[in-house]
Amino acid sequence: MKSALKLILLFSLIFFLFLGIVVFILFIYLKISLPSISSLKHYRPKQSNLIFDHNEKIIGFLGKERRIFVPLNKIPPHVVKAFIAAEDANFYKHKGIDFYGLLRALFKNLISGRIVQGGSTITQQVVKSLLLSSERTLSRKIKEMILAWQIEKNLTKDEILTIYLNHIYLGEGAYGVEAAALTYFNKHVWELNLNEAATLAGLPPGPTRYSPLNNPQAALSRRNYVLRRMAEVGFISWEEAQKIINQPIVVNPKNVNIPWYSAYFIDLVRAELEKILPPEALERGGYRVVITLDLDWQKKGYENILNFLLQIYKKDAPEIAAVCISNNDGGIRVLVGGKNYMESSFNRALLGKRQAGSAIKPFIWAEALETGVLQPDSILPDEPITLPGADAGKDWSPGNYDGKYMGLISLKDALAYSRNTVSVRIALLLGIERLKNLFARLGFNFPSDLNLSVALGTYEVSPLELTLAYTVFPNLGNKWNPRFIEAIYDQIYGGKLIYQSQPENKPIFSPPTTSIMNDFLQAVTSYGTGKCALALGVPVAGKTGTTQDYKDAWFIGFTADYTCGVWVGYDKGKTLSKGETGGKIACPIWLNLMKGTTHKTKPIPSFKEEPPLRDNLGNATDN
């Protein structure tokens, strides 16, 4: 009997020794094949770049993963405790593996007949998310445990929590608690109440299944589970838990995707960012980008335009493009590239080259005044004119839109009533070389074989180019360079300023010339072709434009604060229909766009030459 017992003990010893050797070899093998945890020590995940408008309002995210890194000290304790209670109540006690938690989860799952609790610790979840695949194998599970143990030896609990709360997927494309807080509640994580915190903490096991947006009842049940767990482990009282259990979940989803009404503008921002930042930096993300767009105006103005088009055109509405520029700094506040970005992402405001029609005339008038070819009180004939045509042996006889002639007319009235024959006569007085110089200064890329038909706007410009050129008038001769991005910071919240755009302009005309032109252009809106603009209720100036066969309608107008340009037409050059002039269709659209924001009642800028300083004897001084 004793010999048999000794034999059994011997075999048992050999078996367990062999098993130990196998386990040890397996452990060494798995340990050698494990990924390094060194990257977690300085954890900085890929993030979105968050776009803010001119008034610091969030527009949306740019990046593959919607994630915003926040340090643990920015996450309130009740948010942290909600996740710990729901996912790993013994987080601060275990060393990466919670054997008691595994048994408890197994028991509760057996009782419920379904999985209601997971056995993985928060540390294990970090391993699974960042270091290993999600395959369900024994070897992967063993690796997960080994790595969790290693992480606990090398990182503090707070460092592990920071990684977990910033990396975990919480549904609706949101990674981490800050992106999720914005997505579901339009709040920062530090603004969440306990109800909202428990709702987010209930998401990890099934972000889609427990989404308060898609499955409100399941989300409510899961939130209540989290609250009860918080009470069970002593994070909150049962009274607190019960009070919130009786409350609904009130979501306030933030459309953190780029809104449709700003999509054309954001395309420009993307292109600008690629010029400013290296590709790897953009890919890593985490930048706060402040752009020049006024989000509220963009939304309201765009909606006003579309509603107006819907009223005028029951079907087959033409395309539109619009640009609004701040006269203070050249910042683009509004940009509309078309009716519907989802139907066509072609940005007509930037890339759509169309004939300018009579909207080109103010520059010709200004050049004539600037060079002294004409004076403000000059009188010219509005009469038929015949000139040699572009083709040899053929004449060119430009006429007025209405087929009528007004005889001798002042420069101001000729512009107000948009007389074509006067424009051609002024261009003839200036000569081709002066005209080429003028349009080169304005930044128009016209062909070198320019001819006098330019006086009628037969050459093509984009809405952005033309509107920028008009900024010379409210800025008394200086044309703004466009600004789309104001500033870039290396962190989404706070951070160091790494880029700041500077307002830049260049002189085109003198202040006296543009002051006279501002008076002329106010005549256009007072009694000329752009009278509809007066309904804005503040001092306004501008010019209409209509091309041959009514293919394009323009209105570029400005107040003291903003210069806005509108183009209406079809992409393939189809006629709008007879009578659809700049004054009839583009000007009302401009008015609807401008009504999307408030305007200060300030006069259009004018040049007032200061009298010379005099000494006590009344003699002029050099100062």
Global pTM reads 0.84
Single out the catalytic residue among 358, 423, 501, 515.
358
133 assigned to active site = no
Task: Tell me which of 48, 87, 319, 515 is the catalytic residue.
Answer: 87
- Distances 167 to 118, 122, 163, 202, 553 between C-alpha atoms, Å: 18, 12, 6, 16, 52
Longest Cα pair distance anywhere in the chain, in angstroms?
A: 139
Kindly state whether residue 227 falls inside one of the protein's structural domains.
yes
Question: In this structure, what token pair is assigned to residue 20?
Answer: 């130990």
Spatial distance between the Cα atoms of 515 and 605, rounded to a whole number of angstroms? 7
Distance of CA 82 to the CA centre of its chain: 34
Q: Determine the pLDDT at residue 295.
A: 97
Task: Examine residue 296 and state whether it is found in any structural domain, yes or no.
Answer: no
Question: Kind of pairing, strands 174-175 and 66-67?
Answer: parallel
Which domain range does residue 177 map to? 64-245
Domain count, the chain: 1
pLDDT at res. 102: 64
Mean pLDDT by 10 residues, the chain (623 residues): 63 61 54 65 85 93 88 96 94 82 61 59 84 66 78 89 94 94 94 97 95 95 97 96 95 81 95 94 93 98 94 90 97 97 96 97 98 96 88 83 93 97 97 97 94 95 98 97 97 92 96 97 97 97 96 97 97 90 96 95 83 42 36
**Is the residue at 123 inside a domain?**
yes
Whether 240 is covered by a domain: the verdict is yes
Closest residue by Cα to residue 281 from 590, 44, 89, 604? 44
pLDDT of residue 620: 38
CATH code of 132's domain:
1.10.3810.10
In a domain, 122, yes or no: yes
pLDDT of residue 139: 67
Active site residue 358: yes
Q: What is the pLDDT of residue 6?
A: 64
Q: Which two tokens stand for residue 495?
A: 């951070």
106 assigned to some structural domain? yes
